[in-house]
Structure 1
Amino acid sequence: MFRRYGRWYRWLVVLTVMLGTTSMVLATTIVNVVIPDIMTAFHMGQGRAQWLSTGFLAAMATTMLMTSWCVRAFGQRRTYLAAIILFIALSLVGGLSDSASVLIVSRIIQGAAGGIIQPLAMIAIFQVFPANQRGRAMGIYGLGVVLSPAIGPALGGLLAHYFGWRAVFFVVLPFCLLGAVMAPFFLVGRDRSEERPAFDWPGFALLAAFTTSLLAGLATGRGTGWNSAPALSLSAAAALACLGFAWRELACRHPLLNLRIFANRQFSAAAAVSFAYGMGIYGSTYLIPLFVQTICHYTPIRSGLLLFPGGVVLAGAITIAGRLTDKYSAHGIVIAGLACFGVSFCLFAGVSGTTAFQTMAWWIVLGRLGLGLVIPALNAGAVQTLKPELLGQGSGAVNFVRQLGGAFGVTMVSSFLDWRTAASLEAVQMQLKGAIPPLRSCCNPYTCRPA
């Protein structure tokens, strides 16, 4: 490949995988600004609508661990093409769906296809770049990826305003098609000198059972009570599936996830940070558009524009952080980024229905600045200490943990939103009956309390 394309080959690989990953990230975030419109169109409650996000993220997390096996069994080229063609087909199904069930199922399968592509990008980049250039490469790759959440919400709001919510499912198609055209030229095929590995089907089934039971248990507990029989049964099933998966992976000759990589302390720390990062980024990206549209009565365009400045700052910060990662320790960079992200969340704890647009935009900018510092250092630092033969496993594992954290975070903020909304409605009903003093700000279910 280097002989054919010269010194630009490395960057052509980056562009190819960046197109695929950009499409996946854009599909993840752009839907959030039109969830209120989808709820109206299909008469869905918030509890069911959140599966458009959690189902996508959970499926993505589950299939991420297949990437290492797929690359060894079929090569980067075939794996990438199969996943992106499936993603294109499901984008069309979602955009043309006439029922909530079809839409949710299409989103789940979309997530499954997207889960294979994201770790593949890291594998491809690490194979063509030397160690001292990987931070810069991840920074450039990350710049393209984070442009999706930068422009996604604003673009989604614009499309929803002029063309309806269905248009957001079609906007990723040009990126997918271009990536599918480039992949046969720049991604490598299977190494035929290696024996095709066996796939860990029992491990995959246990992992799918764990993620499904865990998220379904959280959703069920929100509706029927955390001590109800269905919620407890699903929680027990999740725990058993988790234990079964751990036992299977430790005993399996070709595990879906090599749990022994977590013996590496640096990798384990990076995985823990990835889980928290996933909870924060996906939870906030889901909650903020829903909050400002339902509580502050923003239009989809206005809610998208609220997230736009933060996305631009994220894109700029991630480029700088990539260069810093090549020169300095990843630990300090990650700590600084997490501090900014944490302060942003603390500020949002005091949000109300009357908080100014500019104020919320600045809070989001601070959080996205922190994320921009974290992403390159976390991605590079997580796998740099692993042996080359564990690169695929490490890449899939750190992405899996992040997406699982995202699905968990969306489910938790959705549960919290339902709880606070129910409490506020109950308070309003009591006020109408004259049982309690007047409320200060009944328009905000988060801060509604007696005067």
Structure 2
Amino acid sequence: MSNQQNAAANSNIKALPIITSFLIAGFIGLFSETALNMALKDLITGFGIHETTAQWLTTGYLLTLGVLVPISGLILQWFTTRQLFMTSLVFSIIGTFIAAIAPTFSVLMIARVVQAVGTALLLPLMFNTILVIIPPHKRGRSMGIIGLVIMFAPAVGPTVSGLILKSLTWHWIFWISLPLLIVALVFGAFFMQNVTKPTKPKIDIFSIVLSTIGFGGIVYGFSSAGEGGGWGSSNVIFAIAIGVVALVAFSIRQVKMDKPMLNLNAFKYPMFVIGLLLILVCMMVMLSAMMILPLYLQTSLALSTFAAGLMLLPGGIINGILSPVMGGLFDRFGPKWLVIPGLVIVAGTMYGFSTVTLETSTGFIVGLHIALMIGISMIMMPAQTNGLNQLPPELYPDGTAIMNTLQQVAGAIGTAIGISILSSGSRSFLETVSDQKDPLNQLLAFTNGVQHAFIFAIIVAVIGLVISFFIKRVNVEQRAH
């Protein structure tokens, strides 16, 4: 779609109701992504499963996103905005309902996959719609508001679910989400407008198969390693190897096709690549921290679910408030002065987390978590907006698909590596003590694992810091009219 067509189409589009529809739907979709983390302990005892099996509730969700989001660039060109918005909400509602009544772990697992289909359709659609209806020079703030939801929902998820679990069962996490999703569906039915015309490009089945095996294999392999299979297990090596081979084949095929399923030309834009790398660093650090912190609070510090959730709330709220502020600052000053200090803060907080013990005060943890969330808000949206701003409009669907896909893959990899380092750190500690069954030794071992997992996060953050020195502001003034 050319800029002229875009401008003509945009003149009669009411941006506020459209963005509001996305915000309500996106909030609930992403809220349930972390809300279940707090219930993991209840689920493990309730269903009689191992921690590594319970991890599949998050992994299965990420796996579905990893498989579907790459195809989203194609889906966006086949269906109208309204059709996709309504379909994504129908999937989310069905998945949430199945989860609310789930009698067994398998049924809950199926429900998570159905929910993930809804989220996988919604996220790329939301970013693409913002890029189409908001001119580049105003995008920072709009992306910041979207960022408020994307960061705030997963951050308050644990607190709200902790509050629910205090007096109700984990089923209620879903019963409470359900009416809100129905409200979003009704709101969208009234206010959602079509912002793009479907071009219906040819569907290349072979590309879809390669992309599914590629992204699916990598997410599955890393998750299996985190699940306790260890990095040396044949399952893990096989899945990652197949994934990498399929991805290489997928990339070669996309480059050679006249009309690729996912246009990899986005990688020709250097700021897009740098923005993408910084987001991957953020996702790895944040998702591994969001997985490990609740476990540390509930295990090493023996806090209740609710108390642990409450401790993570201030950081989540501050992050939510700061996202639009950072978006506004980005519009004025560009990315460099936000992203570099942001990564310094993130690396510093990871160092702080790597020093935790059984005696660490809750105030110290809350302070570090707030600092982490401030740092993340300084990196995520500026890097993402700056990167997408460099793309020409015809690459928006592909750019958002690439960013959203690799974000999920990075999240899965970060979580898996974090959990597997935690497990191996615990094991290596237990090998040094005489009484492995002693509860104190087990707690010390677990805490040792937590420290090791955060050392991994420091390394990732430092790599991000090095990359951030190359970021430059994309000049969008000429496209602002």
TM-score w.r.t. structure 2 length?
Answer: 0.85
Separation in 2 of the partners of 1:281 and 1:236? 26
Residue 207 of structure 1 and its aligned partner are, at CA, apart by: 2.2
Partner of 2:203: 199
Partner of 2:444: 444
Q: 1:398 aligns with which of 378, 403, 410?
A: 403
Partner of 1:22: 27
Separation in 2 of the partners of 1:250 and 1:64? 19
Partner of 2:345: 340
Residue 165 of structure 1 and its aligned partner are, at CA, apart by: 1.2
Separation in 2 of the partners of 1:251 and 1:6? 37
Residue 367 of structure 1 and its aligned partner are, at CA, apart by: 0.3
Q: Which moved more, 1:288-297 or 1:25-34?
A: 288-297
> Where in structure 2 are the equivalents of 1:90-239 lying within 5 Å?
90-189=95-194, 195-221=199-225, 223-239=228-244
Does the C-alpha gap of structure 1 residues 256 and 337 become closer, same or farther in structure 2, counting only changes over 3 Å? farther
Residue 269 of structure 1 and its aligned partner are, at CA, apart by: 0.7
Does the C-alpha gap of structure 1 residues 202 and 175 become closer, same or farther in structure 2, counting only changes over 3 Å? farther
Partner of 1:358: 363
Residue 349 of structure 1 and its aligned partner are, at CA, apart by: 0.6
Q: Which runs of 5+ in 1 are unaligned?
A: none
**Aligned AA (1:63):** L
Residue 27 of structure 1 and its aligned partner are, at CA, apart by: 1.2
Residue 8 of structure 1 and its aligned partner are, at CA, apart by: 9.4
Partner of 2:271: 266
Q: How many residues align?
A: 443
Q: Confirm or deny: 8 A CA contact 1:47 1:219 kept in the other structure.
A: no
Q: 1:83 aligns with which of 82, 88, 94?
A: 88
Q: Confirm or deny: 8 A CA contact 1:439 1:448 kept in the other structure.
A: no
> Where in structure 2 are the equivalents of 1:249-260 lying within 5 Å?
249-260=254-265
Q: 2:16 aligns with which of 11, 16, 29?
A: 11
Separation in 1 of the partners of 2:88 and 2:125? 11
Q: Confirm or deny: 8 A CA contact 1:56 1:108 kept in the other structure.
A: yes
**Aligned AA (2:313):** F
Separation in 1 of the partners of 2:17 and 2:145? 12
Partner of 2:457: none
Does the C-alpha gap of structure 1 residues 340 and 133 become closer, same or farther in structure 2, counting only changes over 3 Å? same
Aligned-residue Cα RMSD (Å) equals: 2.7
Partner of 1:426: 431
Does the C-alpha gap of structure 1 residues 359 and 116 become closer, same or farther in structure 2, counting only changes over 3 Å? same
SS in 1 for 2:39: helix
Does the C-alpha gap of structure 1 residues 383 and 425 become closer, same or farther in structure 2, counting only changes over 3 Å? same
Q: 2:354 aligns with which of 349, 356, 365?
A: 349
**Aligned AA (2:343):** L
Separation in 2 of the partners of 1:136 and 1:295? 40
Q: Which moved more, 1:372-381 or 1:168-177?
A: 168-177
Q: Deviations over 1:201-239 (max 9, x none)?
A: 322222222233223333444645433433332232122
Q: Deviations over 1:32-77 (max 9, x none)?
A: 1111111111111121111111221222233222333222211110
Separation in 1 of the partners of 2:261 and 2:334? 31
Q: Confirm or deny: 8 A CA contact 2:147 2:323 kept in the other structure.
A: yes
Partner of 2:245: 240
Q: Confirm or deny: 8 A CA contact 2:102 2:108 kept in the other structure.
A: yes
Residue 448 of structure 1 and its aligned partner are, at CA, apart by: 4.9
Separation in 1 of the partners of 2:230 and 2:346? 32
> Where in structure 2 are the equivalents of 1:285-324 lying within 5 Å?
285-324=290-329
The answer to whether 1:282 aligns with 2:287 is yes
Residue 79 of structure 1 and its aligned partner are, at CA, apart by: 0.5
Does the C-alpha gap of structure 1 residues 91 and 337 become closer, same or farther in structure 2, counting only changes over 3 Å? same
**Aligned AA (1:67):** S
Q: Confirm or deny: 8 A CA contact 2:319 2:373 kept in the other structure.
A: yes
Partner of 2:467: none
Percent pairwise identity: 23
Separation in 1 of the partners of 2:154 and 2:30? 7
